[in-house]
Amino acid sequence: MKKVLIVRYGEIALKGLNKSYFINKLVNHIQANLADLGRLHVHQAGGLIYVDMDEYDQDEVIDRVIKVFGIVSVSPAYKFDKNMDSIYEVAVKHINERIEEDGIKTFKVESRRGDKSFPMKSPEISRMVGGYILSHTEGLKVDVHNPEIILHVDVRDKAYVYSKKVYGYGGLPLGTNGTAMVLLSGGIDSPVAAWMMAKRGMEIEAVHYHSYPFTSERAKEKVVDLARILAKYCGNIRLHCVNLLPIQKEINEKCPEEEMTILSRRFMMKIAERIAIKRQCNALVTGESIGQVASQTIQGLTVTNNAVNIPVFRPLIALDKVDIMDIAKKINTYETSILPYEDCCTVFLPKRPVTKPRLDKILQSESNLDVEKLIEEAVKGMEVIEVSVEE
């Protein structure tokens, strides 16, 4: 008898002739997430993926595997030879473990006979196993409508017994939908946006803007910490740190005060696009949500979009702030995001920022600046930090 983790995928099952490509990606990412724990055997068969985890920390293995995008759920299970005597023995062993761990009083057995040559059909297996458990345990009852646990018996290449199901995040394996450059601030929204696009299979790079020395080194380290948390889901992240202060000074000196935010935003998009093209990224990703702040009105987003030519993905655009915060808490970025460090967007913050900017007026103001020179100098002076999963 061995301990294994049964891994289920969802949307991948619909991929037709490309399914094996997605499954191989998924297996590779599971192996990568477990690599520093040891040489765990990961393989796929019969529409499921299995991780052999006999001598390894089960909770640690589960915690790492469910962070792999594309996985719908996992179940720790016992794997053994498929005969009824062994099924009875393992079923009672597992039920006793759940009684000791959780004090369960009721149960139900559900069976699946994947191997059609097995002599008993699924309902008969459930009935026989349920009866055997009742006759070999005390104080336990069957409840077919609302049981505390469901004991699953799967008969495939081997027999599998399990009763727990831990849910993953679904989505698609990383690297199956190109690469995106995320505008990563130290706030709540952009890490969530990065996570959501990675969940759809996009590999992630990031660009962060600071206004050093008006913003501190600790503010930049906070963003590195956020990238480190994201790396547990998204794999290694290349973080490009750009000092926006020289551009902000030029805007402050030569353009109307109320346009500072929207003009700064256009420069951020242009610089991100420049780095994205150089790095062969397919799109930009922002954490903007319609109506959340002055620059995120429909007029503001239209003017911002005009600054670039590559696609801009805004996965949070229709989410309320509370919804975004809930996701941030779920993926463990929230507590880091709310640390009170400076943000480049608060430098030269206008008292009354324009909320309905007109593109012609913004372009007129922008013509007062040497845009190309400012972008070139910003990119030339950027710092690149490689944030890895192992950190």
Q: Which residues are annotated as a binding site for ATP?
A: 183-184, 208-209, 265, 287, 296
3-class SS of residue 57: coil
DSSP string, 12-29: GGG-GGGHHHHHHHHHHH
Residue 295 CA to residue 307 CA, distance in Å, equals 14
CA atoms in the 13 A half-sphere facing the CB of 94 = 28
CA distances in angstroms from 217 to 48, 197, 211, 328, 379, listed in the order given:
46, 28, 10, 23, 19
Q: What separation in angstroms does the CA of 208 have from each of 63, 201, 278, 302?
A: 29, 22, 16, 22
Residues in the chain: 391
Q: Position 46: which residue type?
A: G
Contact in structure between 242 and 382 (CB atoms under 8 Å): yes
With H, G, I as helix, E, B as strand and everything else as coil, classify residue 10: coil
Binding-site annotation, residues: 183-184, 208-209, 265, 287, 296
